[in-house]
Every structure is written in structure tokens, then in C-alpha cells.
Amino acid sequence: MNETVLLNDKEISKEIILSAREAIVAMGKELIERKLVAGSWGNISVKIADGVYAVTPSGRGYANQKPEDIVIVDDACKTLDGELTPSSESKLHTAIYSACSEAKAIIHTHSIYASALAAMRKPVPAIIEDIVQIIGGRVECAEYALPGTQKLADNAVKAMNGRKGVLLANHGAVCWGKDLADALMVCEILEKAAQIAIICQSCGGAVELSNEDAEIMHSFYKEHYIKRQRGEEK
């Protein structure tokens, strides 16, 4: 029998909540393994329904995390279910979900090369095709704000401008996807693009792709490539 629970006036299957929590726990271990975060830094969330989100707890390492440690919050980051304190960056997550209706999962990383560009307050330039295909152009760096503040969330949403990733000045990166696997892929491609940008800057600079070419590649990716990856198109 499919048991449900009432969260933020929505009847939600307990199974769906548990699978979101389990997916976040598994992704935390994946982020450590892929060196996208260290210790308890960074955070992960999944949109369960409008106004119902599963998010990693504040200050807890990923290695021993359990599904029940994952907190369920509403749009105002108020806890709906869970014992621990939700991530201090929950506002960043809920602000992105509000601004981007396609976003179903968000990963905030402190990966080295993205953080290096963020420390320089420079964007990830549109110099490599895969990041352009996925994001649609350069990845901007948001204006600086203290961690955990509404200002940080507002600045990130503004600089993101509907794209799937943004850098947080002197801090790290945040990316969203249609699910956690998609968000992870965006984080990894963003980190790779940031690394290439830094290599190129130390060797005389790269040539940035034109907006026109970026738009063509991004449209092809959205209209065809994703379907081919899913086996929906030959």
C-alpha cells in the first residue's frame, strides 16, 4: 500500500520522500569521491513537489549520512520533516527552484577550478563546446554576498539568468538539473570548463565562441542530443 504524508498541504507518497532522501545521501558520497566538495561543505537538494524540497543538513559530513538526516523544507526553508537543521544555503536552493521551473535537483560544490574563477570573480567563458551545449554560453559569477544570506540567493539567481549554473564569488559553484544525475553532469562539465579556462589564461588566452554559435549548439543539445542520450531519438 502506498502510504502518504501531508507536507505543506500536499499529500505526498512516503516512498517518494524516502527515495529523494536516499538519492541525496548517495550523491553526497559521489561528490566526495569526485572531489567536487570536501568535508561537510557544499549541499544538495531535490524538489519533491512545489514548496516541498529535500535538502542536506547543515554541518554534517557526507560519509556517514543517513536518509533520515536529510531535511524536508518549504519555500521559506521552514522544516516540514526531519530532526537536523537544514543546510545554511537552503535559501539559495529554494530561490533557484522558484526562478527556474525546470530545476528538479540542485548541487552546490566547492570544486577547485570553479572556485578559483569565483575567487577572481570571473565567469567561466564560453570557450569549450560541451559547456556551451549544456549551459548556452558563459557561466557568470554572481556578485559577492555572505554565505547563507538571502542576498547570496538573490545575486545567484540574477547572475544565473535561467541558465543551469552560476559561480558564487569567493565561494564556489551551483548547478541545477532535471534530476540529480543531470545536476552532477552540469557540475562536472562546469568544473572541466573552469579548469580549461585557467589553463588557457596561463598560456596566452582562449578564443570565446560567438553568441550565435553558442545558441545553435545549445538549441541542438536541447532539441536532439538529450533525446538521443535517452534513446528517444536515433
Catalytic residues: 89
Cα separation, 13 vs 4, whole angstroms:
4
Binding string, 152-191, against Zn ion, x = CB under 5 A? Answer: --------------------x-------------------
Q: Which is nearer to Zn ion, 136 or 172 (CB)?
A: 172
Q: Which is nearer to Zn ion, 132 or 152 (CB)?
A: 152
Smallest CA-to-CA distance from 171 within 41, 80, 57, 64 is with 41
Cα separation, 180 vs 177, whole angstroms:
6
Q: Which is nearer to Zn ion, 108 or 218 (CB)?
A: 108
Q: Which is nearer to Zn ion, 165 or 172 (CB)?
A: 172
| Pair type for strands 71-73 and 79-81 | antiparallel
Which residues, in sequence order, are bridge partners of residue 47?
53
Cα separation, 111 vs 167, whole angstroms:
11
Write down the least CB distance from residue 168 to Zn ion, Å: 7
How much is the CA Rg of the chain, to the nearest whole Å? 18
Q: Using CB under 5 A, count the residues that bind Zn ion.
A: 1
Write down the least CB distance from residue 198 to Zn ion, Å: 20
Residue 144: how many CB atoms within 10 A of its CB?
14
Q: Which of residues 57-116 bind Zn ion (CB under 5 A)?
A: none
Q: Which of residues 121-140 bind Zn ion (CB under 5 A)?
A: none
Give the residues lining the site for Zn ion (CB under 5 A).
172
